[in-house]
Every structure is written in C-alpha cells, then in structure tokens.
Amino acid sequence: MIASVRGTIAHVGLDSVVVEVGGVGLLVHVTPATAAALRTGETASLATSMVVREDSLTLYGFPDADGRSVFETVQTVTGVGPRLALAMLAVHSPDGVRAAVATGDVPALMKVPGIGKKGAERLVLELRDRMALPSGQVSAPVGNGGSPAWMGQVREALVGLGWSAKQAEDSVAAVAEESAAVGETPDVSALLRSALRRLART
C-alpha cells in the first residue's frame, strides 16, 4: 500500500497530477481544488490511497491524512466507489462531509454529483455512528465576546459545507433569533440542521 508520495510535480491536470518519484511518474487522482494548489516543477507531498483492481492500480491523493481517512471511510458504504468518494471531497471539506453525515443533512450530500436521495440517506444511516461532528461542535458555551459560541461553530460548519460567509452569517443570525424567542437550550447539531433548512429554502 502506498500511503504517501513526495516528489516533483511533473504535470497538473484538472483532476489529476503526475508526481515524479525516483525517476518514475506517478499519476495521482485529486480534487480540482487540490490540483489548483499544486504547481509544475515544485516539490509536493500528498497523502495517498491506492485502489487495487484486477486490471489497474490507481492512486488517489489528498493534502493530508484527514482527507484520505474520509475518502476511505465513505467507501465502506454500499454503492460508493473511489470516484464518488473523491467527488464528495471535491464538493465538501472533510469536516463538511462529517457534519453532513452526523446531522443527517441529506440535501447537502445530494449536492455531490452521483448521489441521490437514497444514496445520501444510506450514507447517513451507515456512517452516522462512525463520523462525529467536527471538533468543537458539540457544546455551546457563551464566548468572551458575549455571543454564544455555537454561532461561530455553526457558521464555520456551514462555510465548510460550501455556503458563502454571508449566507452562513444570515442563516445563523435568523436561527439565533428563533432560539432566543422560544428559550431553547442550545444544541449545536439541532441548530445546524435549522440553519441548513433555512438555506435550502433560499
């Protein structure tokens, strides 16, 4: 198993790069964002996952081991292969995938090309107990600035899921008003779901 590669970037494509290691050019499939961050002629290091088939050995690369971990975990779900797993990381960050699965956010998962409603529901069902919310999104104390810490946590999760900073800010503000109006005890997971529902209606 090839867990990582380090070498000179010989070629950068839209969704793949060629890394020269010991005189051998290795084709590594990556997300467009990862490819865009690499430059021909520079030395780079990628965490990798090798997928072995009867007729091929394929390398998939990630900026760090966290991306590789999510890539490999989602493939344990029936119907999710390496291409679809990579597409998930092209649409969402690793923490974005975790947040969508942990909160049961089916619409967010359906933003990934190739994932329909049933597929998204299967991901949630099979991975929810194995993918916790990103660190720091489990409690809601009040921050030093006077605003609840959960607002920053939810805002960060929304941006990680692909929403703009302004969309995240507006949605969090609206959810904060509702939460204060009904006197809810803040629950980050529930508040994140509320924010996502608001964004889905816009």
Closest by alpha carbon to 67, among 43, 38, 46?
Answer: 46
Cα dihedral sign, 164-166-167-168? positive
Q: How many CB atoms lie within 10 A of CB 134?
A: 19
**Binning pLDDT at 50, 70 and 90, where does residue 143 land?**
very low
pLDDT reported for residue 75: 94
**Binning pLDDT at 50, 70 and 90, where does residue 180 land?**
low
**Binning pLDDT at 50, 70 and 90, where does residue 199 land?**
confident
Closest by alpha carbon to 176, among 192, 161, 159, 165?
Answer: 192
Question: Mean pLDDT, to the nearest integer, of 45-67?
Answer: 93
Q: How many CB atoms lie within 10 A of CB 65?
A: 14
What are the distances in angstroms from CA 109 to CA 105, 113, 125, 187? 7, 9, 13, 22
Task: Sketch the domain layout of the chain as residue ranges.
Answer: 4-62, 65-127, 149-201
Cα dihedral 111/117/121/123 (nearest 10):
-50
Q: Which CATH number fits domain 149-201: 1.10.8, 2.70.98, 1.10.10, 1.20.120?
A: 1.10.8
Tell me which CATH code domain 4-62 carries.
Answer: 2.40.50.140
Q: Does domain 65-127 have CATH number 1.10.150.20?
A: yes
pLDDT over 80 (residue 67):
yes
**Amino acid, single-letter form, for residue 76:** T
Per the rule left: phi > 0, alpha: psi between -120 and 50, beta: everything else, 183 is left
Q: How far is CA 112 from the centre of its chain?
A: 11
Share of the chain above pLDDT 90, in %: 43
